[in-house]
Chains A and B, each alone.
Chain A
Amino acid sequence: MKILQVDHLSKSYGTGEAKVMALDDVSFSVDKGEFVAIIGPSGSGKSTLLHILGGVDKPTSGNVYIDGVDIYSLNESKLAIFRRRQIGLIYQFYNLIPVLNVSENITLPLELDGQMTPKTRLNEIVKTLGLSDRLKHLPNELSGGQQQRVSIGRALINNPAIVLADEPTGNLDSTNSKEIMELLKASNKKYNQTLIVITHDENIALQADRIISIHDGKIQMNEVASCERLI
């Protein structure tokens, strides 16, 4: 089942001489439960792509369908609610709310939606993330790896249709990076959670089911991850 479909997506900045094509006729689709890595050098348009997939930046042309909904046909307020319910975002710099504790940060998307927090799901998620004994801590009392784990929890709490991660390990040392990737992969497996990770780290990309590589706003390669990494 296709959970994400991108049709002829283009995004340009500026006009005339100064016009820059950040994305140039990009099309691909992602099945439910897939783990896709998007790689490319900086300036290749991968972050622009992620922002458009996440419904935070409008494309110049083309459509994005998430779970069958053309997200850019929704108006601003509907898109905001759609985003809250169907998209989980993980950023390089965690973007946690500094005055809220771990548990409040994780349940924020539910609180915003006026939903009651299902205790069992929260407990399960914090247990998987190894945060059970840190629920009352504030973000500044946590290490980088722990903060990123909180933001993973926040992305997962709503059972979103897709989770988008923008350089999730970009700010972490190698041990923590490995741990974060393992947790993301575990959530991908355990909850059949569709996962799209943007990275410039090839070792991370190789762990995905599929790698999409972007250069100068165009898809250069879109294939099932190679199994030849041991060589």
Chain B
Amino acid sequence: MRIRKNPEVNKLYLFFAIVLVAVISFSIYQSMYILNKYEQILYNNDAEIISSLKDNPDAEIKVIKVISGKADVNAEDGKVILSQYGVQQNDIKNLSNELYTNAFLISLPGILAFVLLLICCVYFIDKQYKRINEITAYSQRVLQKDYSLDIRENVEGDISNLKNEIYKLTVMLREQSEQQTEDNKRLATALSDVSHQLKTPMTSLFVMTDLIKQDNIPKEKKQEFMDTIQNQLERINWLVSSLLTLSKLDAQAIKMKREQHSMAELIKAALEPVLIPAELKEIDINIENIDAHFIGDFYWSREALVNILKNCIEHTNAHGKIDISFEENRLYTELRIKDNGEGISKEELKHIFKRFYKGENAGEGSVGIGLAMAKAIFLEQDGDIVCNSKENVGTEFIIKWPK
């Protein structure tokens, strides 16, 4: 039997065996003691009968009285007479031998009951160990990445609870392994996207350097090429540093601070780099004038907001407007940035926070990294950013920092 491999089961069986021996010995001793008592009574009775026959005549009546226990007779006198004939307690009718052989039979029901109980116990223990073995077999299958089985049984009890919890673990493992496959695919696409993104400016750089190498080039042309080279290098620089940031965010290598800051200050800082392009397009930026605070990382939040504001300005026509409003309550601080630009189609809206996703109306040189980075930054602060939009009406970004 497999369950005998369990030391605790062996201990239990040893204990059962000891108890069984003890019970058998005790019951034999007990029945012998009872038999001995019985013999005593019998011997006593015989002695009483003999004693009643002592002075004969009315013997018959007396014997009947003695047998029915109504006579007042002295057994001791009888015992003396019996001993005169050499009859002791042990010699009565050879009864003893017969009774002693039956002693075991008398204790049998007790022993039988105990053995039955033992069998029940063994059966029960065996069943529980089978359930545990089931869990082992299941875990082994999970280790082989076979997640198809379901061991939940929906009954009461600790083993059922254990199975239920193990099932939850399995589900978690399965999800993680699916996530991993997904991540691997994404990494592959991301890598090819990145190389593609780097290749475009690099091709342009090669062309420019080739052109500059020519001797008969006028000075102004040379200057123009140099400027283009500078621009492309800046683009590569921006791309590489953004990618670094993103990968750090992915690896959770950036520790976001949790400090209280004024909302107005954050917006002021975020608007700084976009004021000139906004002015060029004569976009009107309205900021709600209330006192609100958020708890989060100032530097990174600003970084993310700059990306969002850039996006808004890029996709808003000249003379458009951008409304910035915020709200603070017990649970979170909410910031809403709303433009009346070209909007985003329903289909595209699903993808705008995805890495390297470029919408149909994406600006020249757009890589599809700004919004993805913003999302990563807010998620890292336990917050979130969502976007509502309608084509030709406008787009609204809603950012939340929890408290």
Q: A interface vs B, CB < 8 Å?
A: 1, 32, 67-69, 74, 77-79, 81-82, 85, 113-115, 130, 159, 175, 178-179, 182-183, 186, 189, 226-231
Q: Determine whether the beta carbon of B158 is less than 8 Å from that of A227.
A: no
**Lowest 4 CB-CB distances: which A-B pairs, in order?**
A78-B154, A81-B154, A230-B388, A228-B390
Which chain A residues lie closer than 8 Å to B359 at the CB level?
none
Q: Determine whether the beta carbon of A227 is less than 8 Å from that of B388.
A: yes
CB distance from B149 to the nearest CB of A (A): 11
CB distance from B294 to the nearest CB of A (A): 15
The contact of A231 among B156, B171, B393, by CB within 8 Å, is B393
Q: Which candidate, B63-71, B74-82, B206-214, B330-338, is the interface stretch facing chain A?
A: B330-338
Q: Determine whether the beta carbon of A230 is less than 8 Å from that of B390.
A: yes
CB distance from B142 to the nearest CB of A (A): 16
Which chain B residues lie closer than 8 Å to A227 at the CB level?
346, 349, 387-390
**Complex Cα gap A67–B154 (Å):** 13
Q: Does residue B402 face the partner (Cβ distance < 8 Å to A)?
A: yes
Report B391-403 CB contacts with A as 1/0, cut-off 8 Å. 0011010000010
Which chain B residues lie closer than 8 Å to A228 at the CB level?
388-390
The contact of A182 among B332, B346, B349, by CB within 8 Å, is B332
Which chain A residues lie closer than 8 Å to B164 at the CB level?
85
Which chain B residues lie closer than 8 Å to A67 at the CB level?
171
Report B166-190 CB contacts with A as 1/0, cut-off 8 Å. 0010010001001000000000000
**Complex Cα gap A115–B349 (Å):** 44
Given known contacts A182-B331, A183-B331, is B396 in contact with A230 (CB within 8 Å)? yes
Having A227-B387, A228-B389, A230-B338, one finds 6 other A-B pairs with CB under 8 Å, namely A32-B175, A67-B171, A68-B150, A81-B154, A228-B388, A228-B390
Given known contacts A68-B150, A159-B168, A230-B390, is B156 in contact with A189 (CB within 8 Å)? no
Which chain B residues lie closer than 8 Å to A69 at the CB level?
150, 152
Given known contacts A68-B150, A228-B390, is B157 in contact with A114 (CB within 8 Å)? yes
Q: Determine whether the beta carbon of B402 is less than 8 Å from that of A186.
A: yes
Chain B interface SS verdict (over half): mixed
Listed by A's residue number, 8 A-B pairs whose Cβ atoms lie within 8 Å are A1-B178, A69-B150, A186-B402, A226-B346, A227-B389, A230-B389, A230-B390, A231-B390
Given known contacts A69-B150, A74-B154, is B331 in contact with A179 (CB within 8 Å)? yes
Q: B interface vs A, CB < 8 Å?
A: 150, 152, 154-158, 160-161, 164, 168, 171, 175, 178, 329-332, 338, 346, 349, 384, 387-390, 393-394, 396, 402
Q: Determine whether the beta carbon of A114 is less than 8 Å from that of B388.
A: no
Q: Determine whether the beta carbon of B156 is less than 8 Å from that of A229.
A: no
Q: Determine whether the beta carbon of A114 is less than 8 Å from that of B158.
A: yes
CB distance from A173 to the nearest CB of B (A): 13
Which chain A residues lie closer than 8 Å to B330 at the CB level?
130, 179
**Complex Cα gap A85–B161 (Å):** 9
- Which one of A81, A183, A226 has the highest number of Cβ atoms from chain B below 10 Å of its Cβ? A81
**Complex Cα gap A81–B153 (Å):** 9
Given known contacts A69-B150, A114-B161, A115-B161, is B155 in contact with A78 (CB within 8 Å)? yes
Which chain A residues lie closer than 8 Å to B349 at the CB level?
227
- Chain A residue nearest to B396 (CB atoms) is A230
Q: Determine whether the beta carbon of B156 is less than 8 Å from that of A81.
A: yes
- Which one of A85, A189, A230 has the highest number of Cβ atoms from chain B below 10 Å of its Cβ? A230
Which chain A residues lie closer than 8 Å to B178 at the CB level?
1
**Complex Cα gap A121–B175 (Å):** 21
Q: Determine whether the beta carbon of B161 is less than 8 Å from that of A113.
A: yes
CB distance from B32 to the nearest CB of A (A): 48
Q: Determine whether the beta carbon of A230 is less than 8 Å from that of B394.
A: yes
Which chain B residues lie closer than 8 Å to A77 at the CB level?
155
CB distance from A32 to the nearest CB of B (A): 8
Which chain A residues lie closer than 8 Å to B387 at the CB level?
227
CB distance from B165 to the nearest CB of A (A): 9
**Complex Cα gap A167–B348 (Å):** 32
**Complex Cα gap A227–B393 (Å):** 12
Q: Determine whether the beta carbon of B393 is less than 8 Å from that of A81.
A: no
CB distance from B316 to the nearest CB of A (A): 15
**Complex Cα gap A186–B157 (Å):** 32
Which chain A residues lie closer than 8 Å to B156 at the CB level?
81, 114
Given known contacts A182-B332, A189-B384, A228-B388, is B154 in contact with A82 (CB within 8 Å)? yes
Q: Determine whether the beta carbon of B388 is less than 8 Å from that of A229.
A: yes
**Complex Cα gap A113–B168 (Å):** 16
- Chain A residue nearest to B165 (CB atoms) is A115
**Complex Cα gap A28–B371 (Å):** 33
CB distance from A124 to the nearest CB of B (A): 13
**Complex Cα gap A183–B393 (Å):** 31
**Complex Cα gap A178–B155 (Å):** 38
- Chain B residue nearest to A112 (CB atoms) is B156
CB distance from A192 to the nearest CB of B (A): 8
Given known contacts A182-B331, A183-B331, is B155 in contact with A81 (CB within 8 Å)? yes
**Complex Cα gap A186–B155 (Å):** 32
Which chain A residues lie closer than 8 Å to B394 at the CB level?
230
**Complex Cα gap A79–B156 (Å):** 11
CB distance from B170 to the nearest CB of A (A): 11
Which chain B residues lie closer than 8 Å to A226 at the CB level?
346
CB distance from B78 to the nearest CB of A (A): 69
